[in-house]
Amino acid sequence: MKTKALVLAAGQGTRMKSNGSKVLHKVLGKSLVEYPIIAAKGVGVEEICLIVGHKAEDVKAALGERVSYALQKEQLGTGHAVMQALDFMEDADEVIVLCGDTPLITKETLQTMLDFHREKQNAITVLSTLMEDPTGYGRIVRDANGNLLKIVEQKDATEEEKAINEINGGIYTFDGKLLKYALSKLDNNNVQNEYYLTDTIEILLNEGKRVDAIAIEASDDIAGVNSRIQLAGVTQVMKERINEKHMANGVTLVDPANTYIESDVVIGKDTIIEPGCMLQGNTVIGENCRIGYNSKLTNMTIKDNVDIEVSVLTDSFVDEGTHVGPFAYVRPNSHIGKNIKVGDFVEIKNANIGDGTKISHLTYIGDADVGEGVNFGCGTVVVNYDGQKKHRTTIGNHAFIGCNTNLVSPVVVEDNAYTAAGSTITRTVPENSLGIARAKQENKENWVLKKRQK
């Protein structure tokens, strides 16, 4: 027996009013459909099949080979969607069915459903919950003894049925063989003329099979996203879950309501995250850092004791004890060493910066290898682009770059060399030398007085 998962993601999602696929809309960095996939993997499911239809090519391109796909050419209902994956399911399999638009589902809740399903040896287990306002969901209909009878869709429900608060979460576990059997019996005799997956319940009950619904308390877990308003609501819940995890781990979030941390981010203890920060992708932050207000870090590795203020950093590395900002921009493939100062209005791209270097203000360093203990004066520009190609510049240890120096790449400033302020350096400055490349000053005495006399 294998446990496999089907994720239904072929629907159009009309209410999103979007040109793209509904399930590719993002919640804190991941598309909606990635979350049920992760939850399924979390309970040990290895084979996952996504039912795609609307914008199928986009969905496949976004998710790649981590799942297999079955195409539902026409969206004739959730039961019809599952029929497209008959080849994916063996009789002996246990099949979990999830929806691509329920990102808050957790592996814990799936495990609760699986345990219940196995213990009761059910043919179908439905995940349900009690909702104050059940409008729009399928209702769980039970008899006087609490036995499940059927699921009835809102549109097909009687007034009495509409009053039921227990709703179908759209997440199920099936016995593979019985699922296939029930699918072969489905019809579309309902208000929407759709093949409802939920009708498999009545079909198998009529055959004397064991079918039940397990009501979970965490109703957030099965909240579906059908509109932008629900997308925002789900983002809010996701944000709270992530932020609470970090606070429990010893991270200070000054204002969790205004802190946006994506789910794969790792943060060490005693680090302080100030309001307005966005921490994205595979960012890993060490201990005892301060990520100052309104900073955005994407796929960054930040070691311990780093202090960042109002800055944007992407796909780079910052070592211990370094200070960045305010208003710095660190672009991809930069390696910034220990105890460095990257000050205001400094941009660094595809560069290595050695320990203890100071780049205090208004400087651009692109495509360069900078040694240790270098001092950059204000307004230095590494002129890395000649209009056609990028070139690399090398600056040795303890070099001193005067204010307003242009370093026209490729060029080398050797160890302990200086450049004079205002120089445009185009040739190597040898070790221990001063490179001056600017016009000599000439003073015209009494020039002003003569001009006034004219």
**DSSP 3-state of 323:** strand
Considering the rule CB under 6 A, would residue 129 count as an interface residue with ligand UD1? no
Distance CA 246, CA 266 (A): 8
Say whether 246 is catalytic.
Answer: no
Considering the rule CB under 6 A, would residue 168 count as an interface residue with ligand UD1? yes
Residue from 35, 69, 88, 137 in contact with ligand UD1 (CB under 6 A):
137
Residue from 3, 5, 11, 349 in contact with ligand UD1 (CB under 6 A):
11
Residue 9 sits at the vertex; the CA angle it makes with 138 and 227, to the nearest 5 degrees, is 65
The amino acid occupying position 312 is: V
Note whether 103 and 35 are within 8 A (CB): yes
Considering the rule CB under 6 A, would residue 9 count as an interface residue with ligand UD1? yes
Between 126 and 267, name the residue whose CB sits nearer to ligand UD1.
126
Residue from 36, 170, 256, 379 in contact with ligand UD1 (CB under 6 A):
170
Between 168 and 200, name the residue whose CB sits nearer to Mg ion.
168
Query: How many angstroms from the chain centroid is the CA of residue 369?
Result: 31
DSSP codes of every residue in 41-72? HHTT--EEEEEEBTBHHHHHHHHGGGSEEEE-
Note whether 338 and 302 are within 8 A (CB): no
Q: Which stretch binds ligand UD1 (CB under 6 A): 77-85, 158-166, 288-296, 415-423?
A: 77-85
Q: Which stretch binds ligand UD1 (CB under 6 A): 161-169, 288-296, 379-387, 390-398?
A: 161-169
Partners of residue 419 on adjacent β-strands: 401, 435
Q: How far is CA 223 from CA 206, 230, 260, in A?
A: 30, 8, 20
Q: Is the dihedral of CA 143, 147, 152, 154 positive or negative?
A: positive
Between 93 and 153, name the residue whose CB sits nearer to ligand UD1.
153
Considering the rule CB under 6 A, would residue 153 count as an interface residue with ligand UD1? yes
Considering the rule CB under 6 A, would residue 70 count as an interface residue with ligand UD1? no
Residue from 198, 200, 405, 406 in contact with ligand UD1 (CB under 6 A):
198
The amino acid occupying position 171 is: I
Catalytic residue, chosen from 54, 80, 246, 361, is 361
Residue from 196, 364, 376, 400 in contact with ligand UD1 (CB under 6 A):
196
Considering the rule CB under 5 A, would residue 103 count as an interface residue with Mg ion? no
Residue from 39, 43, 105, 167 in contact with ligand UD1 (CB under 6 A):
167
Considering the rule CB under 6 A, would residue 99 count as an interface residue with ligand UD1? yes
Considering the rule CB under 6 A, would residue 106 count as an interface residue with ligand UD1? no
Note whether 326 and 309 are within 8 A (CB): yes
Considering the rule CB under 6 A, would residue 364 count as an interface residue with ligand UD1? no
Considering the rule CB under 6 A, would residue 182 count as an interface residue with ligand UD1? no
Sheet of strand 266-267, all strands in order from the earlier edge strand to the far edge? 266-267, 284-285, 301-302, 317-318, 335-336, 352-353, 368-370, 393-395, 412-413
Q: Residue 402: which of Mg ion, ligand UD1, none does it interact with, CB under 5 to 8 A by kind? A: none
Q: Is the dihedral of CA 35, 36, 37, 38 positive or negative?
A: positive
Site string for Mg ion, 224-263 (x = CB under 5 A): x---------------------------------------
- As a residue count, the chain comes to 454
Q: Is 229 exposed, middle or buried (0-12, 13-18, 19+ CB in 10 A)?
A: exposed
Q: Which stretch binds Mg ion (CB under 5 A): 82-90, 145-153, 217-225, 356-364?
A: 217-225
The amino acid occupying position 426 is: T
Q: Residues with catalytic annotation?
A: 361
The residue ranges that bind Mg ion (CB under 5 A) are 224
Residues forming contacts to ligand UD1 in the complex (CB under 6 A) are 8-11, 51, 72, 75-78, 80-81, 99-101, 137-138, 151, 153, 167-170, 196-198, 224
